[in-house]
Chain A
Amino acid sequence: MGELLQLSAAEAAARIAAGELSAAEYFQAWQAAAAGDELNAYLWSVENAADYEVEQGPLGGVPVAVKDIFCTEGTPTTAGSRILEGYEPPYTATAVRRLDAAGARVLGKTNMDEFAMGSSNENSAYGPVLNPWDRGRVPGGSSGGSAAAVAGGLAPCAIGTDTGGSIRQPAALCGIVGLKPTYGSISRYGMIAFASSLDQCGPLTRDVTDAALLLAALQGRDSCDSTSVGIEGGIVAPSREDLSGLRFGVPAELSRDAIDAGVRASFEATLERIEALGGEIAEVSLPNAEHGISAYYVIAPAEASSNLARYDGVRYGMRKGGDGDLVEMYETTRAEGFGPEVKRRIMLGTYALSSGYYDAYYGQAQKVRTRIAEDFTAAFADVDFVVTPTSPSVAFGLGEKTDDPLAMYLNDFFTVPMSLAGIPAISIPSGLAEPEGGGAELPVGFQIAAPAFAEQKLLEAAYALEQGIGFEREAGSRRPWNGGSGG
């Protein structure tokens, strides 16, 4: 059974399609793995797979772990919040329906930071997720459960959401691949809203080929989401073998920022690897990227404060204080239902949108957003991709940053600019590095960003680089799904 779990999603789907592997046996193997979750990666997992029927399609027979932010009809959907405890949606998110139509099946719903607000998964109302490489460390967030499930051998592949880095950063900290597609590639219908102008669904997988396989199924226009446009021409499995003729831009402003020594060394080694594969390294300028965090932490909380107004104890979820008057019921429900980080962001967003402050905060942040998008447009006139480390550090310790919200926000420094610009970006494992202060080596993520809707080109380059890096050879025996694990 262990051998089955070594297969990538693409390999398993091919074997099932060829009749060499029983879809039911494969699904049951993963069901058993998910049931043995010691990482708190799942909030719910499928219990009865006995009635499993072989589904046809490119993902036929592949189980997928789904972040608990996607509505799934008839199964619990909490978004990591107490306020939605016990909620069973009357409908299923388009992204999940599309996976289903491609032959995949939901294996479980994964833990996450409450309403996707966080970079460590410590903001879940249902307890933190543990990093499978070292259980004393965070898996990253907010899609921490999806990342830990894939890295920890509890799911072959997963989907998550990325608003400011919530797919890419946990993928980096768990040593897997995470892709945030262009805003508008995948429908947001049924994806519980955090910041609607930034939220985007994407895959978390063991390798780039699996990311392409999932994206191919997920992307597309949806009449239920007027902002969804899909990716013209679709997505196919990447096959590029080198990087000749491609230019990779490193932001000139990068060196000024605090990057841990181990992460920096891995980043530099990856740039050399790109050149060895025939790619060219150039310097680009993103002068406004340094204001990304400031703009993001106005825009995202502002949109969240509006989106989260719907949790008022009337139509779904928790109700408290029903013995008093209506306003008392609203206030008691929200006081008891939301955790500290969600309250903080609702407060921040409400303040930024309040009379007298709107222009100074929200208006200004939206202008910064324009500037950042213009920076990328200018950069892409000269280079094919922009590259950075995904995260300034490897996985940090549980509880290490929980007392300092601003320090936690700064984790998103490298991922937020792409979110604000709406462009696609992928994180692939580039190697292992010792954490600051010593200890066993942990995965480092390398981020590649491309122009809007250039996903196929991005996946081709990421695939060629992935083969060149050979993370599997370097980390093989230590990769948690191969039996290695931290204490």
Chain B
Amino acid sequence: MSALTSTPTAETPPGRLTAVRSFFTDSIRANPQGTTVRAAAVVVLLLGIIAIPGFATLNNFKGLLASVSLIGIAAAGMAIITISGNFFMLSMGATTAVSTIVFATTLSLGLLPAIIITVAVGTVVGLLQGLVIGGWGANPIIVTIAAASIILGAGELWSGGLTIFGDGDPSSLNAVLFDILPVQVLVFFAVVILIHFVIQKSPFGRQIRLIGSNRDTAEFAGLPVKRTVIIGYVIAAACAAMAGVLLGAEAGQGNLGLGAEFDFDVISAVLVGGVVVTGGKGTVLDAAVGAVFIGMVGNLLIVGGQSFALQTVIKGVIVIVAVSAAALLARRKGKR
């Protein structure tokens, strides 16, 4: 204990060089994994630019970002759940899948109403899960797995198991603005920036982080724990629904098969980005970076001529390396 009080950092005089260095050491100490992933992303990027022909083209970058947009949007929502200490929302893929159906079904009312209705349905789905988990204290993993079953089953009953082709024109969601910025990517960026800001700067976000850090202390401090957790689920499910809107528009149909493997991809992004699974640590931006990083590695492999199967293997390896590294870093920190 006495060793902790005598850390020499407090006495270091603030020169410019040390200021720069302390900026880096501070950020590494505050979030070792997130910083490492960002550094790894830069390395992979440079490697790709130098070594893989066809990687560093505008079109490829456009495609890369578009391919991770949906996962990135959902990961922003998932990050809220993880930061709040509730691990993962395992009904996100189901919500996204059913949202493609809701979107396709309501498209005849017009594009904007369809988006609004789909996201609204998503928030209701999130609200119900949030009430059970945040309000009653039920286990978040079990509740969201069960919710996934209910959501998919209800979607199946509603659609009769058929693919639904929307009666309307969603093509503006697939547009590429100024020939360079796909609408999906725009939505991805907007959602991430908005939610990142909310989590870092709003009182709600502060409470999410405090609750994730220590729920007991949060309750003893009189924070509105239940309400905050419930709102977290509402936002997360809304993100999944938004991803469903874009997915439905892209595929031109509503289909429950869309969005399979979605949960794992989203969780991978959150973990690889450096959001800590026990809660309280990491940011929404970290999760977005994680999504882009995984997408970039996959993209490199494909452009480099490797198979989809190998890509899947590598994705799993990255997740395991990331969580192992996090565990090792945490252990070293504990020893210090």
A and B from one complex? no
